[in-house]
Structure 1
Amino acid sequence: MAEPLPDPPSDPLTGIAELDLDRGARRGYPEAVYCAGKTPEQVRRIATALAGRPDVTTLFTRAGAEHAAAVLDVLPDAFHDESAGLLAWPPTRPEPRGGLVVVLAAGTSDLPAAREAHLTAGYLGRRSELVVDVGVAGLHRVLARLDLLRRARVIVVAAGMDGALPSVVAGLVSAPVVGLPTSVGYGAAFGGLAPLLTMLNACAPGVSVVNIDNGYGAGHLAAQIAAPQEDGA
């Protein structure tokens, strides 16, 4: 009587996800894990599957406290920034190449989205600097940073309320500006819709806009813009 066939090896992601581990080779940038809407157990199983691939830099975005605990239980040395809701594994950033990404937060309340953009750009291999509290209520603050802004290959501007800062910055520099509207502001800000529309209607050319609170998208776009040129910059 023939021996029964062995059970196929178990896949920890059956019924949950199919990781795109070749995305980095295909597109130049690895896949990220969007945690919102996933259970902590689902995130844990994804982290378990990634534990054997330290060659793939993985960002866990929009991670709440329970998501973070699940990831850190499997990958205890993962980098974790609670304010940005972001984890990175392996925790060491790649050696930076390409141009400088500067991320501006109009106010302290815009920091979660701004930090997500800043960290994303850094873990995607770019030099990134974060500047905080330079909103249009005190224009001297952003004007004092002109030397830094004019050294940037690309500038991400996170702003809520009236969302005017990207237009101001784009009128001062030659680099492209990525507008990052945040859901900060009183009722008429409509949870970020008002700054989103302001940025989309920017009169200064060279402003692109990502979705509300999408720090990951802003940081990713900035990393692509600041990628090394063919001359090896």
Structure 2
Amino acid sequence: MFVVFIKLVLEHTLALIRYINKIVELNSNEEQIIIDALTHRKYLKDQYIVQQGDVCKCINFILTGCTKTSYLDSNGHEHIVMFSIEDWWTSDMGSFITQTPADYNIQCIENTELLQLNYTTVEELFKKVPKLERCFRKITERALVASQKRIITNFSETAKERYLIFKENYPKIEKRVPQYLLASYLGITKEFLSRIKSQLARETKS
């Protein structure tokens, strides 16, 4: 049983190395340095990886599972910022970079497995493996572009169009998250989302 566990952890670790190698090319020594710095963690459904107000200590690479990043306002209303699934990173980057209290909650929608790098380790890795700093810069740039596009979409598109864009871009996520969470992400009520889906189903049949 222990041997099986070790093999699974190794396979998961190699999944991250393959991910990084798609962005920057690592040599075997650099790969091992990164592997040695990783921590493997498991979280149950509904557990928090980061809680609003706490300092985000780690960046997290999702191996299996699904998480939501959300903001809880002063009235207790939850606003979904993003969802993350396998081969995605999740963290409160503002909190992680500045080591100040997090603005967001990151909570598991499913049982979730992660590979984690803590703040101190990342700073050390950037010195030992400069390519990794370039890799994270590219990941951050992509996230910034996606965030800006979402802002434009929210300003310029109808709720129906926003849902269709999400469905097209993230079909795997659309099937895995509860409707009320997806509605929150789209900035509408779950009842309105249900009406949009019913309308689209009628249009498909006609």
Bin of the TM-score, shorter chain as denominator length: under 0.3
Query: TM-score, normalising length from structure 1?
Result: 0.20
Answer 1 or 2: which has greater helix percent: 2
Query: TM-score, normalising length from structure 2?
Result: 0.22
Query: Max radius of gyration: which structure?
Result: 1
